[in-house]
Structure 1
Amino acid sequence: MTGDEIDKDVRQELQSLPKTLAEDVAKNLVMVARLIDEDPEGAYGYSKVALRLASRVAAVREAAGFAAYANQKYAEALAEFRAARRMTGSVELWPVMADCERGLGRPEKALDMAGAPEVQKLDKAGQVEMRLVAAGARRDMGQLDAAIVTLQSPELASSSVQPWTARLRYAYADALLAAGREREAREWFAKAVEADRDGSTDASDRLAELDGVEFVDALDESQEDEGEVKDESGSAGDGDRD
């Protein structure tokens, strides 16, 4: 790991730093990206090092925000995202900032952000993300029907598969199930499975659960077999003999 693995736009930001310092920061940012899914605490540690080295770099503040977010440190994440936004003027972080408000127990604030002019400046992926956050805020407030309506959109109805399709269908299925609409929920979990090419959701498990399918751990089953009493022929039996 050299630090060259980082995105070219981030590398360009780091050019404002002395060469050795830029390399150190880059290495820490690479580790944040590598660990954030599997080891969020480890990623958080590396983000704090990068932040200490280069707090005036927007990419560092953003990485620190995502690392804090992954560890459910929502107040800290929101502060870092706000700092990054002030530095860049970009609205890209608007949805995750709104989700931090949810994490802080302020769903009404998240809904206010969902209706703000900034949303119109987001790209399609960002707008879908904002819709997911808004639906989550509605559910936080116990407004299940409103959450379902919020998710109903051209993107949900589209048959084309985009990076956000599986998560959108999954959220819709989950909202339907919470509202007691099991038949429709099953249909949309199945559609989520079709779109989930990289396993980003547990839609297949949810679908199996609705269908009453139980998965058995083969290792556990073999261990149970070993514990059974064998008859004289050596085959497994219940221990009773004539």
Structure 2
Amino acid sequence: MEERPRNSDRPARPSSGRPSSRPSSSSSGRPSSGRPSSRPSSERPSSARPQSREERPARGGRSDRAGATRQVSQGREVSDPRGFRPAPQERDQSRIRPRIFEPDIPEDVTGEELEKSVRAELLSLSAENAKVVARHMVCVNLYMDVDPELSHKHAVAAAHHAGRLAVVRETAGYAAYRAGHYEIALKELRASNRISGDVSMWPVMADCERGLGNPLKALNLAGSDEVKRLAKPEEIEMRIVASGARRDLGEFDAAVVTLQCRELKNENEEWALRLRYAYADALDAAGRKDEAREWFGKCADLDPDELTDALERSQS
């Protein structure tokens, strides 16, 4: 009985160890015409060389499909049943966050000293991480006036642990600003603004541009639409910064005009002292000495504790 081929892409095994001496015949018993039969035969000549193991196709289908087992002699990669994979690329070192110096935190600082509203913004962090960040932020305020550089280092550490929180980035920006690191301050405040959309730090960002020697960029910030959203204290600060930028450009008269506003008459708000002092100083820089002394005197009226030198300058 003739054996059927098992697989069309694999050679069929002969039914006996030697070829038959009889010619093939048709179903009617007549001799064949000598042409090859259209039906596959299980008989093969003995001269066919059996395939070696390396020449056989991979089990499970075609040997040229992706991921098929290949010649073992060519190495492990080509024989990996998981398929061909690109060589692993080295990790981009610029994307790895470097370790930073974290200043010591006094043992008596617990983090509970922060305002409730600020602590509430840390709740998205793990409890352990939130505590570390809170303690660093307390130290930012603790050293703000006595050691601005140490305050800045604590702010950097807090931002390292909670860089996605606007309040932390804002704190880091203000700390860098007080320490004179204007480029870092600008970066941190921009990040905070992107996260929260809060524009209250706009005047400080403009002053950072002044500190970096970019008065025109400071004026661009002062003239942006975001200024319309500022509360009155921040609006006054922006006026003061813009006036300073005009002076940086040598536009002393424009610096005076920038500060001429109805708020100069205000005597009750905390920002009134700063506004009057800035106006008197701008007048002095513009060479209008008599007007400057007058306004330094008005400034001194709001400064009984002599936090400024307005009284001295009003008498010079």
Is the 2:280–2:296 Cα contact (8 Å) retained in structure 1? yes
Structure with the greater alpha carbon radius of gyration = 2
Q: Which residue of the partner structure matches residue 173 of structure 1?
A: 280
**1:1-242 to 2 correspondences below 5 Å:** 1-158=109-266, 160-196=267-303, 200-207=307-314, 210=316
* Change beyond 3 A, Cα 1:202–1:46: farther
- Contact 1:167–1:201 (CA under 8 A) maintained in structure 2: no
The offset of 1:183, in angstroms, is 1.7
Q: CA deviation at 1:189?
A: 1.3
**Is the 8 Å Cα contact of residues 189 and 201 (structure 2) preserved in structure 1?**
yes
Distance 2:131 2:303 in 1: 36
Whether the 8 Å CA contact 1:193–1:203 is kept in 2: the answer is yes
Answer 1 or 2: which has greater helix percent: 1
Work out the CA distance in 1 between the residues paired with 2:133 and 2:300: 39
Following the alignment from structure 1 to structure 2, what is the Cα–Cα distance between the partners of residues 7 and 135? 34
Deviation at 1:12, TM superposition (A): 1.1
- Label 1:205 to 1:25 Cα distance change in 2 as closer, same or farther (>3 A): farther
Structure 1 position 197, deviation (Å): 5.6
Q: Is the 8 A contact 1:3 1:30 kept in 2?
A: yes
**CA distance in 2: counterparts of 1:109 and 1:74, whole angstroms:** 14
In 2: Cα distance, 1:67 partner to 1:200 partner: 22
Q: Aligned to 1:37, what secondary structure does the other structure show?
A: coil
Report deviation, 1:202.
3.3
Q: TM-score, length-normalised on structure 2?
A: 0.63
Q: Matches of 2:234 and 2:214 in 1, distance apart? A: 20
Q: Give yes or no for contact 2:173–2:184 (8 Å, CA) kept in 1.
A: yes
How has the CA–CA distance of structure 1 residues 87 and 153 changed in structure 2, closer, same or farther, with 3 Å as cutoff?
Answer: same
- Asked if 2 retains the 8 angstrom alpha-carbon contact of 1:166 and 1:201, the reply is no
More deviation in 87-96 or 199-208? 199-208
Q: Tell me how far apart the structure 2 counterparts of residues 89 and 152 of structure 1 sit (CA, whole Å).
A: 30
Query: 2:126 is aligned with what amino acid?
Result: P
Change (3 A) 1:93 1:198: farther
Q: Distance in 2 between matches of 1:120 and 1:24?
A: 37
Code of the aligned partner of 1:183: D
**Cα distance in 1 for residues equivalent to 2:257 and 2:201:** 24
RMSD: 1.5
Deviation (angstroms), 1:72: 1.4
3-state DSSP of counterpart to 1:147: helix
Structure number with the bigger relative contact order (C-alpha 8 A, sep ≥ 6) is 1
* SS in structure 2 at match of 1:24: helix
Shift of 1:199: 5.1
CA gap of 1:197–1:51, structure 2 versus 1, over 3 A, is farther
Structure 1 residues 86 and 200: CA distance shift in structure 2, 3 A: farther
- Aligned residue number for residue 238 of structure 1: none
Letter in 2 for 1:33: N
* CA–CA distance in structure 1, aligned partners of residues 311 and 294 of structure 2: 12
CA displacement at 1:38 relative to structure 2? 2.2
Q: Residue 198 of structure 1: CA displacement?
A: 6.0
Tell me which amino acid in the other structure corresponds to 1:36.
M
Letter in 2 for 1:148: V
**Partner Cα distance (2:117, 2:304) in 1:** 28
Whether the 8 Å CA contact 2:295–2:314 is kept in 1: the answer is: no
Decide which moves more: 123-132 or 176-185: 176-185
Gaps of 5+ in 1: 211-242
Letter in 2 for 1:181: R
Counterpart Cα distance in 1 of 2:252 and 2:194: 35
Amino acid at match of 2:148: P
Amino acid at match of 1:120: K
User: What do the CA deviations read for 1:111-156 (whole angstroms, capped 9, x no partner)?
Assistant: 1111111010111111111101100100000111000010011111
Aligned residues: 208
Q: Residues of 2 paired with 1:135 and 1:95: CA distance?
A: 12
